[in-house]
Structure 1
């Protein structure tokens, strides 16, 4: 690392840290009224109040990190520009892109930290925060029974359609099991039964008075007093899933829950939107750094306040665009992953354009 890189990196980290502390401080102050209200109502002890504020920090850091990077980068380069350091470096033959290289690298590292906090600390802190507000730790328990259950089998290409199932007793009513071909586009066999029970020791479904129909021969059918095949071994627990708050799940848990919801025919849109945001939003800090560095790179006397205003507007503009595309994804108009990355792509293009303009 050259002396120039150390100088710029030091100033950028300092400006970013000050901006981050300022934004977090503003948010914490805005929450003090609620904390005081909880204390006066007797819902919080002083220890609970401190714990409550601490659990707000991960999400606050995630939300304000892009703005802190934006203002930090702008303050760093603007200060250098006002001291004519940028012009001097350009005159000596150093390109603007080389000057801001290390702030961009540091912004990428900050994005990595945001990604880590968003996937690990935030889900835990959100659960604790909600439990504190409720006044108790709430255990989530799956319902014992479910109506109109749907499940794609784990061991082969077949699906269950069950009118009613009890996960504790393993008893089910009005059962249909549909066997399909390998491409999952043609019915090979349909098995129906008025009732059945899951044998927990043998790990298979036992159907009573079963009717078997063959898809390739509509006239061929069988009736059996009892029907059981080892491949139909899906546990009743798999038919019933908990309703979950996507934001309280890690990426690993989100993927697992999405697979489970798909297997029972559940709506995964909200989960997919959250998963898309987990991968896209943390990198806003990296993307938005281009804007701050480019806008701070050209010093014209009397226009620093204008640059600051434009910079802040662009920063909040990112949140507006991101929220708009998130809404489109949630309503089914866009693929959740595409919708999550479009704001990053838009602002990266704008940032690169402004960065090229700053070369002159």
Structure 2
């Protein structure tokens, strides 16, 4: 009988979990859609490349959406069981709330393993693949982003103007290039004609200019002008992708565990914080299980809207605590271990408390808050409306 019951409860969780995954992932992606659409419309990036970029970004979102979707799915699953009085029927058969815990715990264990795979393998793969694709896109679309009779800033610290150019944005006439890559000696180049070519081997673009002059400001107010028949200006495309050393969020677990010799204390602290944060987030699936079961069952008493609102509040409070503990860790107030695992320990204690109160059929501290606020709002605004 228990196997049948456990299978029945377990089957209630995956459908809302998938819906939550899709919903939360879409909400997080919305912040990137405008930038991706700009790349398609203005820079002519193929739509297939945009889809690849989205696929590389997904793992970094999944690390957060999986625990969020798990909480929502357990809330809705137990909310439905409670709303249909199935939890009451199970209790009348001698099955306590503790007896209903194995199915959601088993599903949360699967979710934790999935989160762990994401943080160990998927996120480093996605970050490295995203950088490589950005470099490829910069190489293929740099020329496309140049428009005639417009001062273009397709390359960092450079402004390019072309009086005319062909449809493929390769052959140009009436070319002006202002180069400030070296702030000490800004250079302006005028050329009658020019062509733009890419060099995949060196990850760079070449401007092959003809019949022009180079105007350069020297130190101490000097000035130099050089005329040329042919001149090649090379631009490294690595400058068009994010600069600087690899961030801690882009490193693998092995890189976080073994910083190179000579790494300063600030970098070691950042790596340690990132390591514990990544390892702690998968465990939040277990934490949210203890939070979701009692909150879902309370739907019977407070209504579905109240239970759903409480679950969203739990998610917001958890990530606010996550940010607060991370800030304390960055300032050295808390050690990295406590900074990463502190929110889990805090919310696990709260979840166990709520679970025990619900198992003992005692009202939760927050269950009466929503009806009281609803009644207060109805009383005040109802009277105001009559006046």
With normalisation by structure 2, the TM-score equals 0.62
Alignment deviations for residues 290-336 of structure 1 (CA, whole Å, 9 cap, x no partner): 11111111343552211110111111110110011011111111111
Aligned residue number for residue 147 of structure 2? none
After superposition, residues 1-360 of structure 1 pair within 5 angstroms as: 2-42=3-43, 44-133=45-134, 135-136=137-138, 243-257=245-259, 260-261=261-262, 267-300=267-300, 303-359=303-359, 360=361
Question: Does the CA-based 8 Å contact 1:123-1:248 persist in structure 2?
Answer: yes
Question: Does the CA-based 8 Å contact 1:124-1:248 persist in structure 2?
Answer: no
Question: Does the CA-based 8 Å contact 1:287-1:344 persist in structure 2?
Answer: yes
Change (3 A) 1:253 1:136: farther
**Bigger relative CO (Cα 8 Å, ≥ 6 apart):** 1
Aligned residue number for residue 199 of structure 1? none
Question: Does the CA-based 8 Å contact 1:261-1:267 persist in structure 2?
Answer: no
Alignment deviations for residues 227-275 of structure 1 (CA, whole Å, 9 cap, x no partner): xxxxxxxxxxxxxxx9331122111121122x5345x777411111111
Question: Does the CA-based 8 Å contact 2:78-2:293 persist in structure 1?
Answer: yes
What is the deviation of 1:127?
2.3
Question: Does the CA-based 8 Å contact 1:261-1:268 persist in structure 2?
Answer: no
Counterpart Cα distance in 1 of 2:301 and 2:285:
28
Counterpart Cα distance in 2 of 1:333 and 1:265:
15
Question: Does the CA-based 8 Å contact 1:35-1:49 persist in structure 2?
Answer: yes
What is the deviation of 1:133?
4.0
**C-alpha root-mean-square deviation of aligned residues, in Å?**
2.0
Change (3 A) 1:308 1:265: closer
Question: Does the CA-based 8 Å contact 1:329-1:336 persist in structure 2?
Answer: yes
Counterpart Cα distance in 2 of 1:101 and 1:34:
44
Unaligned runs of 5+ in 1: 138-241
What is the deviation of 1:43?
5.8
Counterpart Cα distance in 2 of 1:308 and 1:249:
36
Aligned residues: 254
Unaligned runs of 5+ in 2: 140-243, 362-387
Change (3 A) 1:90 1:266: closer
Counterpart Cα distance in 2 of 1:320 and 1:34:
27
What is the deviation of 1:7?
0.7
Change (3 A) 1:2 1:34: same
* Other structure's SS at 2:12 match: helix
